[in-house]
Amino acid sequence: MPTVDALAERLSSYLEPDQIKQVCRAYYYAEQAHDGQYRRSGDPYIIHPLAVANILSEMHMDPQSLMAAMLHDVIEDTAVPKEALEQQFGEVVTELVDGVSKLTHIKFGSQEEKQAGNFQKMAMAMARDIRVILVKLADRLHNMRTLSAMPPEKKRRIANETLEIYAPIANRLGISNIRIELEDLCFAAKHPMRSNMIQKAVKAARGNRSELVERISEALKTRLKEEGLKARVIGREKHLFSIYRKMKEQKKSFNQIMDVYGFRIIVDNVDSCYRALGFVHNFYKPVPGRFKDYIAIPKSNGYQSIHTSVIGVGGIHIEIQIRTEEMEAMAHNGIAAHWLYKDEEEEGHSKGSKRARKWVQGLLELQQSAGNPQEFIENVKLDLFPDDTYIFTPKGRIVEMPKDSTAVDFAYNVHSDVGNTCVGCRIDGQLAPLSTRLYSGQSVQIITAPGASPNPSWLNFVVTSKARANIRHYLKNQKHDESITLGRRLLGGALSMYHLDLNSIELDHLEHLVKEFGAIDFDLILEEIGLGARSAQAIARRIAVFALGDEDGLSKVSSEGVFSISGKEGGVVAYAKCCTPIPGDDVVGYSSAGRGMVVHTTGCNNIQEFLDQPDKCMPLIWDDNIKEDFSVTLRVYTANSRGTIANLAAAVTEADGNLEQISVDDKDAQLSVLTLQIGVHGRKHLADIMRSIKKNKAVSKITRLKNMA
């Protein structure tokens, strides 16, 4: 069991005596505050904060972080108020403690929302001081180490949460020691039998491999020594979760995964890294395409190293990482290595720190544009799994992007305004679609246009959280404006039945309406009408009561006020896929809560039961000046002959139709049945296209499909 004296002895290797006294004082304060409290395992509660401080001491963290570790549950789990803690230990330590607190007193609607909300608040605390997340990670690591006392269901839930959020955060901040242990502990909690089997297999394989590992290690040491290079050579062990994940993802056997031998070569400086690489490639045959230089271009979490794969004696595959001592510390402790290498004059000292803060700043931007905690956490999860793609701007600046990023992702990475107004791109000087996947080394130029706006279809291919959040934010605002416009038109149409004009309604009447419905303002009521959440007829009736003075006056209503649609209403007017209405069809509008208005043909089976409900359905007419295309589906029966599809496509084009999709539904020796999806301007245009298709002698029958869903 850890003791504070043992911790003090460990801290003496890198802290001053006064600083150690402060950490010990925080321990005794926490011990007194948690007096009488016990963990589920039966141990005194103080064991937990002491263990968290021990984990941080292994990373050589500063005294304030260690004090926060000792006190991190005091505000939440004891009667000590935040103010008392601040008087004793100062504002910085108290803010760290407050940031790490689990915030269980805040009530959320569901468990998922609670977790998302906690993480959102943790991100905010991280923005104030990055050490918050380091203490939180150490706290989670000790909780995972002592998970055995929990019931199985809770074990799995905590393990899932850790794998989804905390292990990726540790990876994002470059803290591989904590990430590896968290992953292995989660693996054991979720799949205890699989974990035990792989652990036993690794132990058995280690015995067989040890002699070969020693031989390769000695050969590398001897070679480097002969070349006058001072270096340490360490054999790399694969951890259990990594083996399991590779077996699962790559569909390889355990023996295939273990056939690869890994080594680290650690040298004094960057120059020696490249010299060591030359000696290794001269000594063993390198594998083409397996060389990566993360020193020249570090990973997004600050990780730096040279990676190469070579073939050893007897065809053995050897993976080698070459790095300096400082890079080794950064690889294990990530952002925490910032406190190990504190030379403020050194330009490269805080690369990891800057990267971490840049990432946290990105979290803040996401938090501002996300609609709710779940959306925020979904975006963060996307951002927690970065890979290695490096893109060049036209001026030669290197931009780090996640794997499979597209030109739209790159545009939003440059700036939100660039993303919102991009219309095209040049990749290595050639025009390319915005959905094009990007690869390392490409040069990308974004083409923008004033007045351009994001396309909802971009959400189908973007991979970065920044792009996704910005597109959603823009579309949300756009839908808000479109909903108000549609709501105003719908209400205006409903009011005309009472011979009233919305623009002439007195302000007092509108304010009375806003108060009656408990809305913030009149625009909110209009937005809700546009989204189908309120009935335009019901609102119009209430306004008419105010304007006309009594209910009796409402009996004199006209049948005017039919709403016209133009196809330009935006996302708040949708055209039903079941009956695919086009201009010229008799149509009705169905108010769908949250979606706005859905347009159906009057003969559609799906709308029949609502036709006599004026709050749900309203008659519609088509605008006289429609130029948009509307999709319609045709079923064509043709004799089975060569070139039929090409002839049909030519017939559609000849009639100025837009052939969107064509498929063969059924086919035998004599007959083919084809489905054509065509963009048309209206019924007359559709009739022209059908006549053009019928000119083909192979066509025996053609019908328009309706009520398909």
Q: What is the CATH number of the domain that holds 288?
A: 3.30.460.10
Can you tell me the mean pLDDT for 224-228?
A: 89
User: Does residue 107 sit in the same domain as residue 132?
Assistant: yes
Band the pLDDT of 343: cuts 50, 70, 90: very low
Token digits of residue 573: 């007017």
Alpha carbons 573 and 599: distance in angstroms, whole number: 7
* Euclidean distance between the first and the last CA atom of the chain, given in angstroms as a whole number: 66
Can you tell me the mean pLDDT for 178-187?
A: 93
Lowest mean pLDDT among 263-267, 399-403, 566-570, 695-699: 566-570
Mean per-residue pLDDT of the chain: 81
pLDDT at 380: 62
Q: Is the confidence at residue 680, as pLDDT, over 70? A: yes
Can you tell me the mean pLDDT for 674-689?
A: 90
pLDDT digits (tens, 9 = 90+) for 591-630: 776 567 788 988 888 888 888 777 678 778 888 777 778 8
- Residue 406 corresponds to which amino acid? T
User: Does residue 77 sit in the same domain as residue 107?
Assistant: yes
Sole residue written with tokens 């990780």: 303
User: Does residue 335 sit in the same domain as residue 205?
Assistant: yes
Q: Is the confidence at residue 12, as pLDDT, over 80? A: yes
CA dist 100 to 53, 94, 130, 403, 690, Å? 13, 10, 11, 31, 68
Lowest mean pLDDT among 180-189, 227-236, 531-540, 593-602: 531-540
pLDDT at 561: 45
Q: Is the confidence at residue 108, as pLDDT, over 70? A: no
pLDDT at 121: 61
Query: Which of 406, 432, 463 finishes a domain?
Result: 463
Alpha carbons 661 and 665: distance in angstroms, whole number: 13
pLDDT digits (tens, 9 = 90+) for 415-461: 889 999 999 999 988 888 898 899 877 889 999 988 788 887 888 88
Range of 694's domain? Answer: 630-704
Print burial letters for 125-150: b (CB count within 10 Å at least 16), e (below 16): bbbebbbbbbbbbbbbbbbbebbeeb
Q: Is the confidence at residue 381, as pLDDT, over 60? A: no
Higher pLDDT, 708 or 704: 704
Determine what percent of the chain is predicted with pLDDT higher than 90. 21
Alpha carbons 370 and 378: distance in angstroms, whole number: 10
Token digits of residue 33: 């505050």
CA dist 477 to 64, 96, 335, 422, Å? 43, 36, 37, 18
Domain count, the chain: 5
Interhelix angle for 176-190 vs 240-249, to 10°? 70
User: Does residue 451 sit in the same domain as residue 518?
Assistant: no
Query: Which of 407, 430, 463 finishes a domain?
Result: 463
Band the pLDDT of 109: cuts 50, 70, 90: very low
User: Per the domain annotation, does 435 fall within a domain?
Assistant: yes
Contact, 462 vs 442, CB < 8 A?
no
Alpha carbons 366 and 380: distance in angstroms, whole number: 8
Can you tell me the mean pLDDT for 329-342?
A: 65
Of 314, 278, 309, 308, nearest to 294 by C-alpha is 308
User: Per the domain annotation, does 428 fall within a domain?
Assistant: yes
Alpha carbons 196 and 694: distance in angstroms, whole number: 70
In the chain, what's the furthest Cα-to-Cα distance?
106
Q: Is the confidence at residue 255, as pLDDT, over 90? A: no
Residue 585, strand partner residues: 583
Residues noted as catalytic: 76-77
pLDDT at 367: 62
Sole residue written with tokens 């992702």: 409
Residue 425, strand partner residues: 432, 446
Alpha carbons 273 and 267: distance in angstroms, whole number: 6
Q: What is the DSSP code string of 277-331?
A: HHHHHHHSEEPTT--EETTTS--TTS---EEEEEE-GGG-EEEEEEEEHHHHHHH
User: Per the domain annotation, does 369 fall within a domain?
Assistant: no
User: Per the domain annotation, does 275 fall within a domain?
Assistant: yes
Contacts of 638 (CB under 8 A, 6+ apart): 644, 648, 671, 672, 674, 696, 698, 699, 700
Quote the DSSP letter at residue 443. B
pLDDT at 20: 93
Alpha carbons 19 and 92: distance in angstroms, whole number: 15
Q: Residue 643 is part of a domain; what is its CATH number?
A: 3.30.70.260
* β-strand pairing of 587-592 with 596-601: antiparallel
Lowest mean pLDDT among 117-121, 125-129, 469-473: 117-121
The alpha-helical segments, DSSP class H, found in 12-165 are 17-33, 47-58, 63-71, 74-77, 82-100, 111-128, 131-145, 152-161
pLDDT at 263: 92
Band the pLDDT of 333: cuts 50, 70, 90: confident
pLDDT at 529: 77
Band the pLDDT of 375: cuts 50, 70, 90: low
Higher pLDDT, 208 or 442: 442
User: Does residue 9 sit in the same domain as residue 158?
Assistant: yes
User: Does residue 669 sit in the same domain as residue 605?
Assistant: no
Alpha carbons 268 and 326: distance in angstroms, whole number: 9
User: Per the domain annotation, does 223 fall within a domain?
Assistant: yes
Token digits of residue 384: 């927690």
Q: Is the confidence at residue 102, as pLDDT, over 80? A: no
Phi/psi for 661 (5° steps) reads -160, 145
Determine what percent of the chain is predicted with pLDDT higher than 70. 83
Band the pLDDT of 406: cuts 50, 70, 90: very high
CA dist 367 to 113, 301, 379, 402, 465, Å? 14, 21, 9, 20, 11
User: Per the domain annotation, does 709 fall within a domain?
Assistant: no
pLDDT digits (tens, 9 = 90+) for 279-310: 999 988 998 888 888 888 887 677 889 999 99
Lowest mean pLDDT among 384-393, 437-446, 485-494, 507-516: 384-393
Lowest mean pLDDT among 200-204, 401-405, 536-540: 536-540
Can you tell me the mean pLDDT for 340-359?
A: 50
User: Does residue 588 sit in the same domain as residue 494?
Assistant: yes
Q: Is the confidence at residue 126, as pLDDT, over 70? A: no
User: Does residue 558 sit in the same domain as residue 509?
Assistant: yes
User: Does residue 590 sit in the same domain as residue 448?
Assistant: no
Can you tell me the mean pLDDT for 385-400?
A: 75
User: Per the domain annotation, does 383 fall within a domain?
Assistant: no
Of 391, 395, 393, nearest to 446 by C-alpha is 393
Alpha carbons 361 and 126: distance in angstroms, whole number: 9
pTM for this predicted structure: 0.57
Alpha carbons 147 and 155: distance in angstroms, whole number: 6
Contacts of 651 (CB under 8 A, 6+ apart): 689, 692, 693, 695, 696
pLDDT at 659: 86
Q: Is the confidence at residue 246, as pLDDT, over 70? A: yes
User: Does residue 498 sit in the same domain as residue 439?
Assistant: no
Alpha carbons 438 and 410: distance in angstroms, whole number: 9
pLDDT digits (tens, 9 = 90+) for 53-96: 999 998 888 899 999 999 988 888 888 888 888 899 999 898 88
Query: Which of 339, 361, 379 finishes a domain?
Result: 339
pLDDT digits (tens, 9 = 90+) for 526-558: 877 777 667 777 777 777 777 766 554 444 444
User: Does residue 74 sit in the same domain as residue 160?
Assistant: yes
User: Per the domain annotation, does 107 fall within a domain?
Assistant: yes
User: Does residue 141 sit in the same domain as residue 286?
Assistant: no
Q: Is the confidence at residue 559, as pLDDT, over 70? A: no
pLDDT at 505: 79
